């Protein structure tokens, strides 16, 4: 796992969501997470199914934030869990060994170690910078990336206000993937925005 990890915004307009997501995939996004915190069950099902089909066409992994039942129903590639969702161990037991299970670890390296021991496929750290989308304490220290790279044998993802400029030092410190929402989905040219993130990894 390496490169740009795109996370969907809370858009109810499925056509717009698919159009911009496809532009990002064309720009080289490596993985897509469907995250929509305000959608009802019918909209989640519709959007997730359509995004899964899109990711299959581009041969990119598709994971769902939080909703294990939806992941199982669609046979998506995996799930991402946060601190208030089901535990990594519970989700791993439900999905089996072959699915991706990602875990939000915020700025807590011990949480990342625990997630790895419980079967996480990757660990995600942040927020590092203020976000236009998510509200959280901006308290994660960049040195957690270097420590995680040395101590934990799964990829690490950085998230939180990521731009091409401020992601660069985190990639240099050892980040395997950069998760972005606004910097891609709200860009004037999402394909170019994705490409510029991807370029940051080309010399690593």
Catalytic residue positions, numbered: 35, 104, 134
Q: Report how far residue 196's alpha carbon sits from residue 179's, in angstroms, rounded to the nearest whole number.
A: 13
Residue 106 phi/psi, 5° resolution?
Answer: 55, -120
Tokens 């946060």 correspond to what residue?
Answer: 82
How far is it, in rounded angstroms, from Cα 103 to Cα 105?
Answer: 6
Query: Cα(54)–Cα(48) distance, rounded to whole angstroms?
Result: 10
E strands present in 35-147: 62-65, 78-81, 100-106, 122-125
């Amino acid at each position: 796992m390496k490169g740009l990890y795109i996370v969907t915004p809370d858009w109810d307009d499925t056509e717009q969501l698919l159009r911009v997501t496809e532009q990002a995939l064309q720009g080289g996004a490596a993985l897509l997470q469907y995250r929509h915190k305000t959608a009802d069950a019918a909209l989640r099902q519709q959007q997730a199914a359509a995004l899964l089909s899109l990711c299959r066409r581009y041969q990119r992994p598709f994971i769902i934030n939080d909703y294990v039942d939806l992941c199982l129903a669609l046979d998506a590639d995996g799930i991402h869990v946060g601190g208030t969702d089901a535990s990594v161990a519970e989700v791993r037991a439900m999905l089996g060994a072959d699915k991706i299970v990602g875990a939000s670890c915020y700025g807590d390296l011990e949480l990342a170690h625990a997630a790895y021991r419980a079967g996480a496929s990757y660990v995600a750290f942040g927020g590092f910078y203020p976000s236009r989308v998510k509200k959280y304490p901006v308290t994660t220290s960049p040195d957690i990336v270097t420590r995680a790279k040395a101590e934990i044998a799964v990829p690490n993802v950085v998230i939180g206000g990521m731009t091409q400029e401020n992601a660069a030092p985190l990639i240099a410190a050892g980040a395997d993937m950069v998760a972005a929402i606004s910097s891609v989905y709200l860009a004037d040219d999402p394909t170019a925005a994705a490409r510029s993130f991807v370029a940051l990894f080309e010399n690593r």
